[in-house]
Amino acid sequence: MTETIESMVTQIDQLQLAQQLVEQARAEGVELIGPGGLLTGLTKSVLETALEAEMSEHLGYDKHDPMGRNGANSRNGTRTKTVFTEIGPVEIEVPRDRDGSFEPAIVRKRQRRLDGVDQIVLSLTARGLTTGEIAAHFADVYGATVSKDTISRITDAVVEQMGEWRDRPLDRVYPVIFIDAIVVKVRDGQVVNRPVYVAIGVTCSGERDILGLWAGDGGEGAKFWLAVLTEIKNRGVEDVCITVCDGLRGLPDAVTTVWPQAIVQACIIHLIRNTFRYASRRDWDAMSKDLRPVYTAPTEPSAAARFEEFTERWGGQYPAIISLWRNAWSEFIPFLDYDVEIRRIICSTNAIESLNARYRRAVRARGHFPTEQAALKCLYLVTRSLDPTGRGRARWAMRWKPALNAFAITFEGRIVASTTN
């Protein structure tokens, strides 16, 4: 109780102090931000006070203490240094010692910007801004000059982190893994479209886990997918119940090679969306009504009967749609054997669509990338911005326990419930 009261008193004191500072600044005509502003002055005072405290700890005595006159190492004035902070450039006085052994931690030697500035650069990069646009942003908002080379060095620092993220250990079992593609434009002599594949797992605790990003050239086959899936397996994934993909050549064979018990499932959502691409918009409502009994059928014979009815009505007008479903039928029908809770997880697109929306927003804002590595770096920063751990974790479905029970019964002995959920 006493600690709670003391905490409340401290908060009130801090609030009163802030109000007094703002009122005093306004009375004196001082701006809150910008050069010579209130926040700039406060930041300068805090940094200099912290540096003086570090110097006192380094020397073993406070400033003006007579102990400094004993001939040992002592203070030797200050030097002026400008550091770039989240509120703009701040000029500070950094204390020095006579033998030059002082190594400050709050503002390190040769450090010209605080760590918060790096986070701003990375955040803007994750939103698709180019180095030139970020430099212009700092000039407009903070009145500071940050070169494009400096911004590039800041973003290049995450390449090592991206490698660690791609090599991190994964869960032993994933009930479902989705493999999707994002198309980016890369300048390779000329600007060309390149796919970047993302593997998204649904964990046994009902979370989305972004397993990795892989750049392709559009001509990927079984060899490419075997290498990707083997990499995922080597990171600890011993079993996958269902792999959901959409017409990626060579992937089904690679899946069953790496995880023999895995079922390859055509992405129902993509199949439905591709259907409407061939149809006139005025027919969408009627077609949707006729198509729904096909993918909600309780059994394969029932689905086949409903598809024949669909074919009789729409086959003459849209033969490409009928061909699309027949070509995907063998990878569609496993879906019909699943419990309704498993169907709901496979068709739940919120977690995927929110991720893809962030990816596409960054890609569209950027336009095109100079290299594949630059594209991967941008998409990794988007992933990291979704979750501080960099794994892009998010809840897949609100009602996960019924789905977990359905998976445990359908894939008996292969699903182990997480103790963290």
Parts of the chain with a pLDDT under 50:
1-2, 4-6, 8-9, 12, 419-421
Beta partners for residue 190, in sequence order? 188
**Treating both helix axes as pointing N-terminal to C-terminal, what angle do 300-314 and 284-295 enclose, rounded to 10 degrees?**
160
Which residues, including other chains, have CB under 8 Å from residue 373's CB and lie 6 or more apart? 159
What Å distances lie between residue 287 and 250, 262, 315, 416, CA to CA?
A: 31, 32, 11, 40
The answer to whether 184 touches 251, Cβ cutoff 8 Å, is no
**Paired tokens of 115:** 């760590």
> Residue 102: what are its φ and ψ, rounded to 5°?
-75, 125
Three-class SS of residue 236?
coil
Listed in order, strand segments (DSSP E) in 234-354 are 239-245, 263-266
At 35-59, the pLDDT tens digits run 655 566 666 666 677 777 777 777 7
Tell me how far apart the 2 most distant CA atoms of the chain are, in Å: 101
Q: Which residue has the tokens 């061939």?
A: 278
Q: What is the pTM of this model?
A: 0.68
What does the alpha-carbon distance between residue 81 and residue 37 come to, in Å, rounded to a whole number?
18
The answer to whether 396 touches 348, Cβ cutoff 8 Å, is yes
What does the alpha-carbon distance between residue 320 and residue 280 come to, in Å, rounded to a whole number?
13
Instruction: Please report the pLDDT score of residue 111 as a whole number.
Output: 65
The answer to whether 313 touches 359, Cβ cutoff 8 Å, is no
The gap from C-alpha 42 to its chain's centroid, in whole angstroms, comes to 34
Q: Which amino acid is at 278?
A: Y
What Å distances lie between residue 171 and 201, 202, 220, CA to CA?
A: 9, 10, 26
The gap from C-alpha 155 to its chain's centroid, in whole angstroms, comes to 15
**Number of Cβ atoms within 10 Å of the Cβ of 210:** 23
What does the alpha-carbon distance between residue 287 and residue 94 come to, in Å, rounded to a whole number?
72
Which residues, including other chains, have CB under 8 Å from residue 365's CB and lie 6 or more apart? 127, 128, 129
Number of helices (H), then strands (E), in the chain: 16, 8
What does the alpha-carbon distance between residue 232 and residue 361 come to, in Å, rounded to a whole number?
27
Instruction: Please report the pLDDT score of residue 249 as a whole number.
Output: 81
Q: Which amino acid is at 280?
A: S
Long-range contacts of 162-167 (CB under 8 A, 24+ apart): 162/376, 162/377, 162/380, 165/212, 165/380, 165/383, 165/384, 165/390, 165/391, 166/212, 166/213, 167/235
Q: Which amino acid is at 153?
A: R
Q: Where are the domains positioned within the chain?
A: 31-112, 113-156, 171-410
DSSP state of 314: H
What does the alpha-carbon distance between residue 188 and residue 197 come to, in Å, rounded to a whole number?
19
| Residue of 83, 119, 80 lying closest to 96 (CA atoms) | 80
Q: Give Rg (Cα) of the chain.
A: 29
The answer to whether 48 touches 55, Cβ cutoff 8 Å, is no
Measured between alpha carbons, how far apart are the two ends of the chain, in Å?
A: 32
Instruction: Please report the pLDDT score of residue 394 as a whole number.
Output: 65
At 314-359, the pLDDT tens digits run 999 999 999 999 988 888 888 888 888 888 888 765 667 778 888 8
What does the alpha-carbon distance between residue 234 and residue 258 come to, in Å, rounded to a whole number?
10
Q: Which amino acid is at 231?
A: E
Which residues, including other chains, have CB under 8 Å from residue 116's CB and lie 6 or more apart? 85, 86
